[in-house]
Structure 1
């Protein structure tokens, strides 16, 4: 067995490894695409505009790097003309493609952090009050959690109103004392 045979065997090992890694790369590319679609189709974010722009740039950069990484690993897995490449060059191309794949995932995760931006709380703002009209009269208070009914806090006590009895619900600036 000559030196050419050993190099060719090493090249085939790198190709086999690249074919295995390509599956992971395609999953990473799908992850970047999904995050980009969720980012584009999501509701308004409380993050500042600059943070949103940076997140968008990071997602686009991650997508471009993911495409380059898939190209590098794919070219290693299936070399041009079907002939095996120099094993050292193929291994270097595979390594570069894998590093770019991990950078892609990191950039996507970093871009996703903008969606976790804290919403500004207004501690001095009064709770939203509603006026509920039923066949038995009108109640004014703050909506609270209830089970199976509309729950209102009226003058410090919780009142449950059956949903079937509700004629209308309207937001009001505040409840006047009667």
Structure 2
């Protein structure tokens, strides 16, 4: 065995440890992806693409481990061509990095925003927010309402729009009856 053959084999044995870690990463991500199930907020198409990417990553990882393992421990008893072994090692490493990339892309589907949290108002679940609004002419107390271009309050059943230029303070209160 020549020095270049031994150098390629030693390098392949070192890289094989990293590859097995990548294969474990793909396996864990695949198990988590399979466990995502019906509660996932991502659209079905995105989930399907993520599942295919994880399976493709798993296949690439197995092929990469085979190529690098074959380089580290060749089947042939005779000498192995160092150039072919180096090409197998390079191909295995490229496939390993592609595996990690595909797995990372597939994992992004789990970060899909949930429809109920994306559109939920910033109010506590206990009920509407009541505020005391100070203006240049006095103050009002009521529930915040939806409006545009003004601060909308619902005061004793009436909707009052206060121009934002007149607002001097906004203070949350527990109950307008106590103010």
**Which of the five TM-score ranges fits, normalised by the shorter chain?**
0.5 to 0.7
By how many angstroms is 1:42 displaced?
Answer: 2.9
Q: Which runs of 5+ in 1 are unaligned?
A: 130-140, 143-155, 159-178
Which runs of structure 2 are paired with 1:20-169 in the superposition (5 Å)? Answer: 20-42=14-36, 44-120=39-115, 121-123=118-120, 128=125, 157=174
By how many angstroms is 1:82 displaced?
Answer: 3.9
TM-score (norm 2): 0.65
Q: Which runs of 5+ in 2 are unaligned?
A: 129-172
By how many angstroms is 1:83 displaced?
Answer: 3.3
Runs of 4+ in 1 over 6 A off after TM superposition: 124-127
C-alpha change, 1:19 and 1:76, in structure 2 (3 Å) is same
Aligned length: 129
Provide the residue aligned with 1:163 in structure 2. none
Distance 1:157 1:125 in 2: 16
| Structure 1 residues 85-132: Cα deviation after superposition (integer angstroms, max 9, x where no partner) | 100000000000000000000000000000011122234698655xxx
Q: Which stretch shows the higher mean deviation, 101-110 or 78-87?
A: 78-87
Give the conservation status (yes or no) of the 8 Å contact 1:12–1:84.
no
Distance 1:66 1:125 in 2: 45
Aligned Cα root-mean-square deviation (Å): 2.4
By how many angstroms is 1:41 displaced?
Answer: 1.5
